[in-house]
Structure 1
Amino acid sequence: MKIVVDKSHKNSLIELQALLENFEQQGRMLSDGSRNQIKIFQLDRDEVAIKAFKVPNLINKVAYKFLRKSKAQRSFEYAQQLLSKGVLTPKPIAYATEESVLFFGKSFYICDNLNADLTYRKLIEDKNYPNRTQILKAFTQFTFRMHEQGIHFLDHSPGNTLIVKKEKGYDFYLVDLNRMEFGDLDFETRMRNFSRLTPHKEMIDIMATEYAALGGYDLLKTKSSMWSYTTEFQQKFYRKKALKKKLKFWKTN
Structure 2
Amino acid sequence: MKHTFSETYIGEQEEICAMIANFDTQGKSFDERDRNSLKLFNIGDETINVKSFKVPHLINKIAYKFFRSSKAERSFTYAHKLLENGILTPTPIAYFEEETILFGHSYYVSKHLKYDLTYRELTTEGIYKGNKKILAAFAKFTYTLHNKGIHFLDHSPGNTLIVIKDDGYDFYLVDLNRMNFGSMDFETRMANFERLSFNESDIAIMAKAYAKESGEDQEKVYKAICNATQSFQEKFHKKQQLKKKLKFWKKA
Same fold (TM over 0.5): yes
Find the aligned partners of 2:57 and 2:130 in 1 and give their Cα distance: 44
Residue equivalent to 2:232: 233
| Conserved? CA contact 2:191–2:229, under 8 Å | yes
Find the aligned partners of 1:70 and 1:131 in 2 and give their Cα distance: 37
Find the aligned partners of 1:131 and 1:226 in 2 and give their Cα distance: 17
Off by >6 Å, runs of 4+ in structure 1: none
Alignment partner of 1:159: what SS? coil
Alignment partner of 1:39: what SS? strand
Residue equivalent to 1:92: 92
1:189-204 pair list within 5 angstroms = 189-204=188-203
- Which consecutive residues of structure 2, in runs of 5 or more, have no partner in the other structure? none
Find the aligned partners of 1:177 and 1:245 in 2 and give their Cα distance: 30
Alignment partner of 1:99: what SS? coil
Find the aligned partners of 2:244 and 2:117 in 1 and give their Cα distance: 31
Structure 1 counterpart of 2:6, which letter? D
Alignment partner of 1:158: what SS? coil
Alignment partner of 1:76: what SS? helix
Q: Offset of 1:126 from its aligned partner?
A: 2.7
Matched residue pairs, number?
A: 252
Percentage of pairs with the same residue? 51
Q: Can you list the C-alpha shifts for 1:182-224, whole angstroms capped at 9, x where unaligned?
A: 1111111110100111111111111111111111111221111
Residue equivalent to 2:67: 67
Residue equivalent to 1:136: 135
Q: TM-score, normalised by structure 2?
A: 0.97
Alignment partner of 2:105: what SS? strand
Alignment partner of 1:31: what SS? strand
Find the aligned partners of 2:246 and 2:33 in 1 and give their Cα distance: 21
- Which consecutive residues of structure 1, in runs of 5 or more, have no partner in the other structure? none
Coordinate RMSD, CA, aligned? 1.3
Asked if 1:213 is matched to 2:209, the reply is: no
Residue equivalent to 2:9: 9
1:1-253 pair list within 5 angstroms = 1-100=1-100, 102-126=101-125, 129=128, 132-253=131-252
Between 238-247 and 109-118, the greater mean CA deviation after superposition? 238-247
Find the aligned partners of 1:202 and 1:212 in 2 and give their Cα distance: 15
| Conserved? CA contact 2:123–2:129, under 8 Å | no
Structure 1 counterpart of 2:195, which letter? R
